[in-house]
Amino acid sequence: MSFEEIFDDSYKRALNTERDGNDFFESFYDHFLSGQKEIAKRFVNTDMVVQQSMLKKSFYSLFAFYASGQTDDSIRKIAEKHNRNNLDIRPEFYDRWLECLITIVSQYDDEFSEDVELAWRLVMTPGITYMKFKYDKDS
Ligand code: HEM
């Protein structure tokens, strides 16, 4: 099985799982916001239900970038929105973002394994690299 297929299957399992009444994206943000005050304060005025659905949609952009090796409007807009001049999301925040995501996948995917973890890291990393790279560009 390719890493794309492993990712796809794992993501489907994660989306179909609930833990303590919370779905995958709710738990991701609970975890992501619980560790660092600097991250949590960025979301004080955010409607987290909307935010969860935005992130869900943007997963397709990350996946498309991994699969095609080409940027599209969607990932370009997300990167611009997060850059120094807009949301000012510093590159190191993305490392925590990815570690939190892997933790939540391990809780939501019953078939979590080393290959599953690697598949998620491989699929997410090009998009994260692009967003970090664009942090101080276009200014
Ligand atoms: C690859 C990783 C990430 C993806 C795909 C992503 C995706 C998104 C998307 C799609 C939006 C909505 C954009 C819009 O309103 O047009 C958003 C907003 C936001 N993101 Fe991210 N994000 C990522 C990483 C991060 C990180 C690491 C932080 C760190 C704190 C962060 C903080 C925020 C904030 C503060 C908002 C605005 C919330 C609001 O509207 O109040 N994001 N993100």
pTM of the model: 0.96
CA 82 to ligand 1 center in whole angstroms: 7
pLDDT digits (tens, 9 = 90+) for 23-70: 999 999 999 999 889 999 999 999 999 999 999 999 999 999 999 999
Ligand 1 pocket mutation, candidates 28, 41, 58, criterion most atoms within 8 A of CB: 58
Average pLDDT for residues 103-117, to the nearest whole number? 98
Ligand 1 pocket mutation, candidates 38, 39, 54, 122, criterion most atoms within 8 A of CB: 54
Structure-token match 């960025």, residue found = 42
Structure-token match 């916001």, residue found = 33
Average pLDDT for residues 80-88, to the nearest whole number? 96
Residue 96: count of CB within 10 angstroms of its CB: 15
Residue 14 to residues 2, 40, 89, Cα–Cα distance (Å): 18, 24, 26
**pLDDT-above-70 percentage for the chain:** 99
